[in-house]
Structure formats: structure tokens, C-alpha cells
Chain A
Amino acid sequence: MNKLKILIILLLLFYSNKSFALIEVDITRGNLKPLPIAVSPLFQDSKSKKNFKKELNIEDLGSEISKVIENNLKTSGLFNPLSKDAFLQKPDIAHLKPRFEDWALIKSQALITGKVLIEKEKLKVEFRLWDVLAGREMLALAFTTVPSNWRRVGHIITDKVYERLTGEKGYFDTRIIYVSEEGPKTQRIKKLAIMDQDGFNTKYLTLGNELVLTPRFNPTNQMVTYLSYFKNLPRVYLLDIETGIQEVVGDFPGMTFAPRFSPDGKKIIMSFAKDGNSDIFTMDIENRIVERITNHPSIDTSPSFSPDGKYITFNSDRSGYQQIYIMKSDGSNVKRISFGKGLYGTPAWSPRGDLIAFTKLHKGKFYIGVMRTDGKGERLLTENYYQEAPSWSPNGRVLIFYRETKSNDKGEGFSAKLWSIDLTGYNERLVETETDASDPSWSSLLSN
């Protein structure tokens, strides 16, 4: 039945004539055939143009915002934004009422138009999404924000368009926190860094005086948890990105590491190592109550909650080698779920709840893959010399991870970079960063 549906959608996509209704993007496969879409520059009147120049030092803000949208759509792998050179209609007129024949002529199936202006020091935006073949409006929205947020305007518009055309929430108005890396392998300088999902607005949150690792976003707010070697004591810290205030999490005598938030953002789950044994604990952020979750003489680490908070996945070498397990959130009913060849680690529970992403090491190669929560249906998405630590986009469609290259005997040729790949295994992409980068973590949607 499902297959039939997909087929019908495909038929509609490729063979529909004008009498057929709304376009849809099939997202069950990868970039099978990206949807041709035209993003008209957002219209601005001459007064706003002067204001943008004064306030933001940007000549043509409407055009800049449309570039943000185009880049997002292209990166998703599901859309093919068409070259503006071919556009026949002016932005202001197109926004009022597109001449659909003109847009169909350049093979565009969908069209985005819009308008930006400054009113009382606020950026006022409106945009519309049009179905070119059916000749009708699919979506119209208006909102206001502060002018400095103009890139986010592009991300929010992309999210709305993506949601309307795919039926899934978007992931564009989001940020990535990661570890910026510089210097030789033996003395790597690491800093916490944060950037928009598309690589813009990079900010460094620590100075690089101490080693920092594995930052993770709180899914409900702008808090981050990470591991810092401050004063040579490796401990889990909590950082408020807005205020810059940091604090140690919990009062443990030994190393705490591998932190993550619970889905409600109220607890931190992490490992605590003592006397050669690592177990998993949670700490309630508000009342500071610490609870032991696992108690086993093996290494138990890299815990990750299911989105409903009822289960935890983690990796343990209790079988002799690193494998993936799930258990109830109180630590009962521990069950191994990885049984393929090789070692399995860094399980990350999908925000949709149905899949666990992981790193696999087999015969000297590293893989990023996904399996169902019962361990069945393992799919390896990408193979490389070294890569690990997948983190999900908030809609559970894209994974971001880091990849290291092999160095020669002198240590030359080494690099660490962020990469993303679709759940489908298609659309693998380098995520550009100012420096080398590792340990990415994807935020939830900033708006709505």
C-alpha cells in the first residue's frame, strides 16, 4: 500500500499536468530527483534598502536572504534551486501574483517569493510558497524579528517551506556545537565552538587553555554539557551559552565524562570512572540528586535517552568487547542489541524514537550506521578510515558526525572534519568549519 502511494506521488511529480493538485517531495529515498524550485529574491522598497545599508551594511538584504534559503534547500539534497539568471519576473510583482507560465518555462515546480522591510527598527518579513504547476498559493506567512537576525529569517522560511513540501519538520533554524581543533596531533588545542547549521556565525566559547570534549545541547534550552580538563580534573560541566556561566556537574571524586541531557532537559546522564570501572549515573540539574543507573565491572559509557525518556541506550564491554545495549531508564532490563561483526559504540537514539545511530569498527574500518531499537535492520550509511559520534538533526532525518584522516609516520596529513549524511545513506556532505572540528552536537529548532 505504502509502495503504491509512493509510486503515485512519483507519477504525480513527473507526469502531472496542470489540473493535478499540490506538489509533494518524496523523502523516503535520498536525492532521487531533487525538486526544481525557484527562490525569488525577497522584495525590498527603496526606503528599507537604505535602512538595511545603514543598519547591517548589506546592499541587497532580500537577495542575501534568498541565498540563505537556496543554500539550505540545496544542502538538504531534496531540492534543486534554479539559477536566478533565468528568472523572468521581478520580485515585487512575483510576490503579488506570479505569472506561473514564466516559472513553468524554466522548469520550476515550486516558487518562493517574499518581501522584507524595516518598520520601527524591526525587520518585517512576509513570504509565500507557490505551486507553479497547479498555479496556486500553498503557504503564506509573515513575522517580525530584529534586523541582526536576518540569516535566521532565511532559515525559518526554509523550515516552513520544507515542512509544507515534505510533511516533516525542518532542521534549518538550528545550531551546531562542536570542538574546534588546532595544532599538532600530540598537542591539540581544543575549544568549544558554536555555529549556525549552515556554518555561519561561528563563536568560540572557550579559549583553549584546557582540553574540552563532547559538548551536547540541552534539547529544551540553550544550555550545553561537556567534558573539561580544567585544573587537570576531567569533569562534566554545564554551560549557559547566553550568560557564559559554567559549573561542574555533581560532586564526584573521579573522572565524569560522556554527558548528555535527558529529553526533558532536566537531567544529565553521564559516566563516572573509579578504580578502573566506568558506570552510568544521572544527575537532576535542579535538586542535584545523583542516581546510579548501571553497576557492572565493565566499561559502561556513551549513554543516550530514548525521546520518551523511558529507555537508555549505551555501550559496554561486558561481553568482552564494546557492544550496544538498551535498558529501562532505572537501569533494569539490560539487553544487548548489537550482534553484527565488529565493535559497536556511541549509540544515539533518534528523536523519532525508532532508530539508534552508532559507530561500528570492523576490520580496521569505521562505519556510521543505524539500527532499529531491537537491534534489527542494521544499515551502514558510510565507511571510512576513522569516523564516529553521530548526532541527529532535530527532525531525525540527518546525522552529523566527525571524520579523521590518516596521517603519515610524521603525523602529516591529519585532519578532523564534520560531515553530514541523510538517514537514507545519500547526500553525504562536508560541513565547512573555520578550523578542524570534531564532536558535533545538533541543537533543537530555535523557533517554534
Chain B
Amino acid sequence: MSLRKILRNTFLVILLSMVVSACATKKTTTSSSIDGQIQGDVYIGSDTVKELAKGVPDRVFFATNESILTTKSRDTLRKQAAWLRDNSNINIVIEGHADERGTREYNLALGERRANSAKDYLITYGISADRISIISYGKERPVDSGSNPLSWSKNRRSVTVKAN
């Protein structure tokens, strides 16, 4: 076998394995660019986002079935943490939400997990756990009532609201 042939075969194998692994990852990659507002299944737009304080977004978004914080989410939460450090008299509630494409009870648990994901990150940035309470609404309180991937991505969220 010539070197060229070996190289070509190796290349093919690599290419094939790339195709296979691409299939194995999230099926939603095809819809990743709806109006440029979704990236890898996570909403990155600003449509429903409100401000907790000036320049501090109130919510972060999650991928389907996930509670992992994206780079953008961590950035948002660091802003929230900085603001909370400056306003130590304010306590917060983090609401966890899921989209409508899951069973009700599982979504309640998933919302709780998402809210805690945000809470844990705030704690690592110096916010006392005593100041944060969490509540899960599961799929009960969508912010966007559409039945499409963009609407669902806006609903997979945790929202930080002032408790007092």
C-alpha cells in the first residue's frame, strides 16, 4: 500500500468518525441559526430579556434537557453577582423554567436544577446562599407561547427577580 493510499484511508476514517460524532451530538444543530437567535440550541437573542438593574440582564438560557451554563450565561450571572455585591440589602428569587416539550413532573425537576445551576454560580462569585431562594415553574409559565424551536429556546430559562 502506498503512503498516499494509507494517508487517504486515514483521512477517510477521520472524516467518517467526524460525521458519526456529529450525528451523535445534539440533533438540533440543524436549527442552530433561526434568525441568528439560537446557537447550539440555546437562545442568544434579547427579545424577552429584562434588566435586573441597568446593564444587568435578568435571565439566562439553557439547551434542551440541560442545566449547564453557557459562556454567555456565566457572563450574565457575573454581572448579576457584581450588582448583588453592591446592593447587599437585596435578596433574590431565581425562577427555573422548562419548555413545553417534556413531561410535567420531569420539567418541574429540570426547572429546579436550572435555577440551582444559576444559584451555585452566584455563590461562587461571593453571593451568600441566604440571599437566594429558588422556585421551579417547570413548563407552567412560558414567556413565549409559540410552539416552535425559537419559542421553546426562550422558555428554557432561569430568571433572577428581586425578592424584596
Contact = CB atoms under 8 A, between A and B. Distances in A.
Physical interaction between A and B: yes
Interface of A: 184-188, 211, 213-214, 227, 232, 234, 254-255, 257-258, 271, 273, 275-278, 299, 301-302, 315, 317, 321-322, 345-346, 359, 361, 364, 385-386, 388-389, 404, 406-411, 414, 438-439
Contacts of A346: 103, 105
B104 A388 contact: yes
B113 interface: yes
Nearest to A213: B104
B136 A299 contact: no
Given A273-B112, A389-B104, A411-B146, 14 more contacts: A184-B145, A186-B141, A187-B141, A234-B135, A271-B105, A276-B116, A299-B110, A315-B106, A322-B103, A346-B103, A404-B100, A409-B148, A414-B145, A438-B104
Interface of B: 65, 67, 100-106, 108-110, 112-113, 115-117, 120, 135-137, 140-148, 151
B142 A273 contact: no
Q: Which of A187, A278, A317, A361 is packed against the most chain B CB atoms within 10 Å?
A: A278
Nearest to B140: A211
B117 A276 contact: yes
B148 A439 contact: no
Contact of B136 (A255, A389, A407, A414): A255
Contact of A408 (B100, B102, B140, B146): B146
Q: Which of A185, A317, A414, A439 is packed against the most chain B CB atoms within 10 Å?
A: A185
A260 B12 CA distance: 54
Nearest to B151: A409
Given A276-B113, A409-B148, A414-B145, A299 B106 contact: yes
B141 A410 contact: no
B140 A302 contact: no
Contacts of B103: 302, 315, 322, 345-346, 359, 361, 388-389
Nearest to A363: B27
Contact of A275 (B105, B110, B116): B116
A38 to B, nearest CB: 44
B145 A186 contact: yes
A312 B118 CA distance: 32
Given A386-B100, A404-B100, A409-B151, A273 B105 contact: no
B28 to A, nearest CB: 10
Nearest to B136: A255
Contacts of B137: 211
B145 A185 contact: yes
A407 B105 contact: no
B135 A255 contact: yes
B103 to A, nearest CB: 4
Given A186-B142, A211-B140, A273-B136, A257 B105 contact: yes
Q: Which of B103, B112, B116 is packed against the most chain A CB atoms within 10 Å?
A: B103
28 contacts: A186-B141, A213-B140, A214-B104, A232-B135, A234-B136, A255-B108, A255-B135, A257-B108, A271-B109, A273-B109, A278-B109, A299-B106, A299-B109, A301-B108, A301-B109, A302-B103, A317-B65, A322-B65, A345-B105, A346-B103, A361-B101, A361-B102, A385-B147, A388-B103, A404-B100, A406-B147, A407-B147, A439-B104
